[in-house]
A = this chain, B = another copy of it.
């Protein structure tokens, strides 16, 4: 089975982190290929940035998706997830959604623990869109200045542990370490936190692999049926061809 992991950020360092965390959990028959966004932002952290990145995600799917059994959108907040599901007939998962749904089998309430409050509003929109607010305990972020994205896991270790404890006090059974820069960090925290920790890129890859076996056509029925072809102007070339059904 071949899975395509799309990092919607332009940072190659993040792609490597995500790829490494994903590989640590892969089923033995999965071949993972990770790609980095060609254009956009080094690290997405607002609604507008996420929205723009979503177009790139769809273009990558149009360019490369045909050779894969499933795809993963590997930025917390899942830019472009629902449009991609409608436009492409293959299983596509997002880090936020896959982590939330996995969490629902590991406890009743989940929380996001992340490194900056700027993300929370965008993440909350995904919880609402999935209609999972009644199982959500909130987003918890340390109140400390942020260093380099690449060093977040070492700099923020202690503050993140403190936030994990706050989230547990707020009633969360499962803590989702949110945001690509925290990928791979869960194992080193498990000893200090008496709750279930989820690494969302692992959740996203595992769910993609599961869906590829369960429903190889992905979301392709009802309100997610692929629309008829339509001409356009100004879109990235591969995406334009895909929407026109000329690919």
Q: Which of B51, B210, B224, B233 contacts A10 (CB 8 A)?
A: B233
Q: In this assembly, does A156 line the interface, its C-beta being within 8 Å of a C-beta of chain B?
A: no
11 contacts between A and B (CB under 8 A): A48-B87, A50-B83, A51-B55, A52-B232, A86-B121, A101-B101, A101-B102, A102-B210, A105-B219, A107-B224, A196-B221
- CB contacts under 8 Å to B, within A91-149, are 91, 93, 97-98, 101-102, 104-109, 118, 120-121, 124-125, 128-135
Q: Known contacts being A196-B219, A215-B196, is A83 close to B225, with CB within 8 Å?
A: no
Q: Across the interface, which residues of B come within 8 angstroms of A243, CB to CB?
A: 48-49
B55 touches A221 (CB 8 A): no
Q: Across the interface, which residues of B come within 8 angstroms of A217, CB to CB?
A: 196
Size of the chain A interface, CB-CB below 8 angstroms: 94
Give Cα distance in the complex from A83 to B80, angstroms.
13
This chain's copy number in the assembly: 6
Give Cα distance in the complex from A214 to B95, angstroms.
13
Q: In this assembly, does A159 line the interface, its C-beta being within 8 Å of a C-beta of chain B?
A: no
Nearest B residue to A110 via CB reads B222
Q: Across the interface, which residues of B come within 8 angstroms of A218, CB to CB?
A: 106, 196
**A223-234 toward B: CB 8 Å interface, digit per residue (1/0)?**
111010011111
B129 touches A125 (CB 8 A): yes
Nearest B residue to A240 via CB reads B52
Nearest B residue to A200 via CB reads B214
Shortest distance in angstroms between A104's beta carbon and chain B's nearest beta carbon?
6
- CB contacts under 8 Å to B, within A174-213, are 174, 193-199, 202-203, 206-207, 209-211, 213
